[in-house]
A and B are shown apart, each in its own frame.
Chain A
Amino acid sequence: MSLAPSEHAPAAAPAGRGTIDQTGRTRTGRRRLLTPTSVPYLLIMPAVLGFAIFKAYPIVASLWISLTTGNGADRHFTGLDNYQRLLHDPLFWTALKNTALILVVQVPLMLGLALLVALGLNSTKVWLRPLWRLGVFVPSLTGLVAAGVMFSVILNRDAGLLNWVLSLFGIDRVNWLGSPFWARIGVVLVITWHYTGYNAVIYLAGLQGIPQELYEAAKVDGAGPIRRFVSITVPQLRPILLLTVVLSTIGTLQLFDEPYVLTGGGPDNSTLTVTMYLYNNGFKYFDFGYASALAYALALIVAVLGLLQVRLMGERK
């Protein structure tokens, strides 16, 4: 027994352990579990379990909940009532409009800036490049709450850092966060500050992947810097541009933390976002059915916009 316990104790082993692996090597009982066919299944098992419990099930359950009203044992099926209500809910449309406005202004602004920064960081004519790259990436490490708290003071009308800096240039104090128009701009500023460097670093990777010969050939053919940018850089970067556009769109559509911390959705609901409205319905009023309908409406919008973007920017070769 003590010489080779695992070899001679098949009775004690659970079913399935007795298989001899294909190479016929002698193995301990523990290893017998790992036959060439079972290995991949064992490897993905934790992922499958987690996926089933925390992704697949909630996705389906959420759809079901969106067709019901009431909570817990009280829940009953109401068909599309929640979706009907959604269509006639002015606050939903306000939230959607705010989110869309922020999306349309913020994503192009941020990605444009990110591309400029990346082009700068990619230039060999710049001194101390690693330092600048490090610096622009740092904001994206900060948590959204920390950034939100920080900017809620920086954007303060009476004593905030930003208004003080502007005053040095003779610009009057701006009521960031206090007026509907400027509050939206304030939210856009904070998100742009937060993620521009992150996107710039992604673009930088793309730029460094473009074969240098393309540029040299174009130069020989007499193409100027702008021509080279339009005819080489942009097409070569297209997959990465698409990736960032889609990711930023998804991110912005789900905007929650920044307005929650910065403005609480105000003033006058001007920075209320769809996710924030969902949160209010679900976890303040405990109307899970309606909140789930909002979640699915949002998912639908994300999916449609994502597909559109892939269609418009993708393929075409």
Chain B
Amino acid sequence: MKRHSPLLTLLLAGAFGLCVAPFYWLAMAATQENSDVFSWPPKLLPGGHLMENLQGLQDSIGLTRVLFNTALVAGVQTAGAVVVSVLAGYAFAKFEFRGRNLFFVLLLSTLVLPDTVMLIPIFEMMMKLGLIDSYQSVILPGLVTPFGIFLMRQSLRSMPDELLDAARVDGAGELRVLWRIVIPVNRPVIAALALFVFLGGWNQFVWPLIALRSPDMYTLPVATATLQGLVTTNYAQVLLAAAIAAIPVMALFLVLQRQFISGLLAGATKE
């Protein structure tokens, strides 16, 4: 009964190709000499200049330092945002308290407000605190993610109350209930949330571009963009930087794709 339609398969393979082909080209271009990036026809096979380009990136932007900055910022942001979201999501999903609905609505309403509205006051705040050009300035604003709190609330709501009450009756304190039951049961959604936040933190651009001043503090997207702005841009290096930025995210996604997609779907379908 299940007959395959070659035409439909072909069409989807075409869509797949359009999505993936640029990455293939990127990987190849990143191994060329700068002058070969713009050869016609484009070079579609590995070029053998990978190490040279890596060294070039190390000299021009301090690749290892920049990667460390990016990983630190994204990592701390992820850990913090997940903790904040799980705690608040649990409270919104499973407790009655005064002001619950009001605060939840306030929180959600900021989802539709463009982030750009907040840029200038946050910049001034960081200036006053002397935090411009520090890790804190980039990390702190990312710790509260209304989306994360929303996602956790949606997912925790579907957890049976009996499960929690049973643990409480058995004498578990609230922290233990959270740690031993809520978190393990919801591990897939938490993993998805962590991926979302990490992705956002790793790729964020506008705010770090504003908040960071010294090349030593740059994250990879900022460093990449400044590299491209130079008069004599070495495109092989810029493209290598773009490829390097993509690698950890892709790897994480491949490992955790099941959680990632189901998390995405949880946010999209549960109203």
Residues in chain B near residue A257, CB distance under 8 A? 205-206
Contacts of B143 in A (CB 8 A): 46, 50, 54
- Nearest CB on B from A316, distance (A): 16
Any B CB within 8 A of the CB of A145: yes
Q: A132 with B13: in contact, given A43-B95, A50-B84, A54-B140 (CB under 8 Å)?
A: yes
- The yes or no answer to B235 lying at the interface (CB within 8 A) is yes
Contact B144 A58, beta carbon cutoff 8 Å: no
Tell me, yes or no, whether A156 is within 8 Å of chain B by CB.
yes
Task: Decide: B119 and A295 in contact? CB cutoff 8 A.
Answer: yes
Q: Which bracket fits the contact residues of B?
A: 35 or more
B228 touching A141, Cβ below 8 Å: no
Q: Are A136 and B268 in contact (CB under 8 A)?
A: no
Least Cβ distance of B45 to chain A in Å? Answer: 14
A282: Cβ under 8 A from any B Cβ: yes
Asked if A142 is an interface residue, CB under 8 A from chain B, the answer is yes
Interface mask (A131-163 → B, CB under 8 Å = 1, otherwise 0): 111111111011111110111111010111100
Are A149 and B238 within 8 A (Cβ)? yes
B3: chain A residues at CB < 8 Å are: 125
Interface 1/0s, chain B 187-203, versus A by CB < 8 A?
00000000000010011
The interface residues of chain A lying within 8 Å CB-to-CB of B225 are 145, 149, 260-261
- B160 on the interface (CB 8 Å rule)? no
Q: Does A20 interact with chain B (Cβ within 8 Å)?
A: no
Q: Is the CB of A153 within 8 A of B2?
A: no
Q: Tell me, in angstroms, the Cα distance from A47 to B123 when the chains sit together.
A: 20
Q: Which of A4-12, A211-219, A296-304 contacts B (4 or more CB under 8 A)?
A: A296-304
Known contacts A132-B13, A137-B261; decide if A279 and B117 are in contact (CB<8 Å).
Answer: no
CB-based contact B91/A40 at 8 Å: yes
> Are A206 and B238 interface neighbours, CB within 8 A?
no
8 A-B interface contacts by CB (under 8 A) = A40-B96, A44-B87, A55-B118, A120-B8, A137-B261, A145-B245, A205-B269, A298-B116
Interface residues of B, Cβ cutoff 8 Å to A: 2-5, 8-9, 11-13, 15-16, 18-20, 22-23, 25-26, 29, 37-42, 83-85, 87-88, 90-92, 95-97, 100, 103, 106-107, 110, 112-125, 140-141, 143-144, 146, 149, 168, 171, 173-175, 199, 202-203, 205-206, 210, 221-222, 224-225, 228, 235, 238-239, 241-243, 245-246, 249-250, 253, 257, 261, 264-265, 268-269, 271
When A and B form their complex, which 4 residue pairs have the shortest distance between CB atoms, in order from nearest?
A143-B203, A50-B144, A40-B95, A43-B91
